[in-house]
């Protein structure tokens, strides 16, 4: 039996500004995680003229049980994608840009060079822009991580997604909880000044103690920021929601996270990894 969403769980609908961003993405032939992952905040974020760009196509080589992005055999990367993203950032007037992508286990080093090229072109066309990179785990490749970091993103974000016990059940079999922690730790080792963050969704069957332990693991990996949001099943084929946490419980997790030493914390039902990313970062400095 599926649990119904509580009455207080409400999302913002599209308005005229949101449709403007939607038209721009369609015009430039770009993908956003907002659309492909069916993010509940798409109406709010598009209305604020922000979006999280999804590179390397719209098809993922992995099949996680919480994610709405389609899985299969992706098309070859589009070399014209980086300049189009740079143009979109310019036309949207962004000062802070988040670039994420589908997992591409079919590409050399997971497509790390495409991440780097997107970051470089966005920075070249948009003076003063701050770019947050939100890649997958690159199968734990330190070489791939270095390639992304050499493009000098302002923030490095990589999600653990869920607690350690549920990782084999929720994430694709090629994903690994400890590998994700390693990538966050290595990012700080290779670029000590970079701000790192990670995120997870709750409501998948984890215990309260497991959430706290996951946050402790992130701090041990020298992660500076954490986002915690409510899992929402994208469809009946995805993992069902086991629990809806209350706003009060999310507030308690925020307090606990700050106690652990995180510089930035976003904890709430609708919070996602790149939700209000610019505000998140500005509150940390």
Confidence grade of residue 47 (pLDDT, cut at 50, 70, 90): low
Q: What pLDDT was estimated at residue 52?
A: 83
Q: Has residue 1 got a pLDDT over 60?
A: no
In a domain, 256, yes or no: yes
Q: What pLDDT was estimated at residue 233?
A: 87
In a domain, 1, yes or no: no
As given in the structure block, the two tokens for residue 254 are 């925020």
List the single range of 11-15, 207-211, 229-233, 278-282 with lowest mean pLDDT. 11-15
255 by Cβ neighbours in 10 Å (0-12 / 13-18 / 19+) ranks as: exposed
In a domain, 63, yes or no: yes
In contact, 35 and 69? CB cutoff 8 Å: no
How far CA 113 is from CA of 118, 145, 155, 168, 176, in Å, comes to 9, 10, 17, 28, 22
Q: What pLDDT was estimated at residue 34?
A: 63
204-222: b or e for each residue (b if 16 or more CB lie within 10 Å)?
bbbeeebbbebbebbeebb
Structural domain span for residue 273: 16-282
In a domain, 204, yes or no: yes
Structural domains of the chain, count: 1
Q: Has residue 10 got a pLDDT over 70?
A: no
As given in the structure block, the two tokens for residue 236 are 């009946």
Average pLDDT over residues 174-188: 97
In a domain, 44, yes or no: yes
pLDDT tens digit sequence for 104-137: 999 999 999 999 999 999 999 999 999 999 999 9
Confidence grade of residue 177 (pLDDT, cut at 50, 70, 90): very high
List the single range of 87-96, 204-213, 225-234, 270-279 with lowest mean pLDDT. 270-279
Q: What pLDDT was estimated at residue 276?
A: 74
Q: Has residue 39 got a pLDDT over 70?
A: no
| Alpha carbons 117 and 119: distance in angstroms, whole number | 5
In a domain, 5, yes or no: no
In a domain, 194, yes or no: yes
Q: Provide the mean pLDDT of the chain.
A: 89
Confidence grade of residue 22 (pLDDT, cut at 50, 70, 90): confident
- The fraction of the chain above a pLDDT of 70, given in percent, is 87
Of 55 and 24, the one with more pLDDT: 55
In this structure, what are the phi and psi dihedrals at residue 265, rounded to the nearest 5 degrees?
-140, 130
pLDDT tens digit sequence for 49-95: 677 899 999 999 999 999 888 899 999 999 999 999 999 999 988 88
Q: What pLDDT was estimated at residue 270?
A: 86
Q: Where are the alpha helices (DSSP H) in the chain?
A: 16-28, 33-36, 42-47, 81-92, 112-125, 142-150, 167-170, 177-190, 208-220, 247-260, 277-282
In a domain, 9, yes or no: no
- The fraction of the chain above a pLDDT of 90, given in percent, is 68
Question: Domain of 20: which CATH number?
Answer: 3.20.20.70
pLDDT tens digit sequence for 242-254: 999 999 999 999 9
In contact, 22 and 54? CB cutoff 8 Å: no
Confidence grade of residue 167 (pLDDT, cut at 50, 70, 90): very high
Q: pTM for the whole thing?
A: 0.92
């Amino acid at each position: 039996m599926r649990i119904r969403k509580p009455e207080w769980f409400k999302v913002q609908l599209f308005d005229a500004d949101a449709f403007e961003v939607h038209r721009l993405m369609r015009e430039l032939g770009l993908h956003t995680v907002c659309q492909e992952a069916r993010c509940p905040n798409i109406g709010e974020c598009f209305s604020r003229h922000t979006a999280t760009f999804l590179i390397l196509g719209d098809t993922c080589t992995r099949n996680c049980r919480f994610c709405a992005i389609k899985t299969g055999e992706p098309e070859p990367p589009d070399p014209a994608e980086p300049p189009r993203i740079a143009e979109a950032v310019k036309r949207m007037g962004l000062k802070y840009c988040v670039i994420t992508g589908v997992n591409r286990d079919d590409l050399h080093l997971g497509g790390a060079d495409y991440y780097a090229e997107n970051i470089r072109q966005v920075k070249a066309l948009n003076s003063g822009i701050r770019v947050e990179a939100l890649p997958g785990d690159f199968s734990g490749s330190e070489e791939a991580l270095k390639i992304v970091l050499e493009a000098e993103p302002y923030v490095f974000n990589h999600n653990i997604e869920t607690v350690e016990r549920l990782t084999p059940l929720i994430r694709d079999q090629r994903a690994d909880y400890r590998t994700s922690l390693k990538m966050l730790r290595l990012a700080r080792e290779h670029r000590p000044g970079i701000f790192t963050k990670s995120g997870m969704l709750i409501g998948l069957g984890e215990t309260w103690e497991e959430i706290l332990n996951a946050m402790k693991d992130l701090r041990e990996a020298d992660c500076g920021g954490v986002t915690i949001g409510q899992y929402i099943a994208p469809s009946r084929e995805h993992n069902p929601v086991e629990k809806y946490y209350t706003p009060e419980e999310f507030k308690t997790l925020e307090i606990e996270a700050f106690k652990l030493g995180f510089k930035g914390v976003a904890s709430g039902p609708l919070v996602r990894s790149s939700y209000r990313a610019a505000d998140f970062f500005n509150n940390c400095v």
